[in-house]
Amino acid sequence: MPAASVTPRYLLEGAAYALEQCGLLLRDANVLYRNGSYASAFALASLAHEELGQWKILRKLRTEVFSGKRLTIKDVQDACGDHVHKQRAGAVSTTIMADTDSQLGKLIQTFTATAREQLEKLRRQMERRIPSERHKQRMSALYVDPVPYVDPVPGGWNRPVEKITQAIAYNDLQEAANDYRGQYDRYTNLETHKPDDPDFYSALEQWTGRPTLPPT
């Protein structure tokens, strides 16, 4: 017997719940940050980015189903099961921190036409790299793990409390909050954004029990 197909309504609900969860995680991350728990705040902000990515992925899947494509629960699970993929889907803002001695810093100081091209190339490379690095960093923000010996550097332990500084946590929270803010506006101001995707925003509008998002 073939697996049952998911409906546009099912994917609409999942997308809204993912965006709601993004807001809740950011709210809790902010509380942790203000209490000095920078590693835990960073980890929750990274998870919020994943939920934002899932909101976008499920919206895309809904469009495909609405257009006639058949998808099952397994298809949805596969689409939402890759952490790095969700990070990439959720990332809109990219905070670039550069000092004057770094490659990026020198490009900014010597902003010629050639440097502008190099800067754009570097930005694209960072956009591809950041989701996987953010996932790795989130793992290092959660767990005490052994660090292997690499000659001549001795081994040791990864300590989240040392690994994630206040600056790192702040920048990740800012990125996640900025990205969430844009989607929050789309979710709460339906009439403004309805021309972008009439069916989706009409369906949200007709869903009287849709979740109320945590404020930005």
pTM: 0.75
Token pair belonging to 83: 């952490």
- Confidence at residue 100, expressed as pLDDT on a 0 to 100 scale: 44
What pLDDT is attached to residue 16?
Answer: 97
Q: What span, in angstroms and rounded, lies between the C-alpha atoms of 204 and 12?
A: 8
Residue 56 has a pLDDT of: 93
156-158 and 145-147 beta bridge pairing? antiparallel
Would you state the pLDDT for residue 113?
Answer: 59
pLDDT at 157: 84
Contact 162, 38 (CB under 8 A): no
Residues of the chain where predicted confidence (pLDDT) is lower than 70:
1-2, 83-85, 90-139, 149-155
The per-residue pLDDT for 97 is: 43
**Under 8 Å between Cβ of 150 and 26:** no
Residue 94 pLDDT: 45
Residue 90 to residues 49, 62, 64, 207: CA-CA distances in angstroms?
5, 17, 19, 24
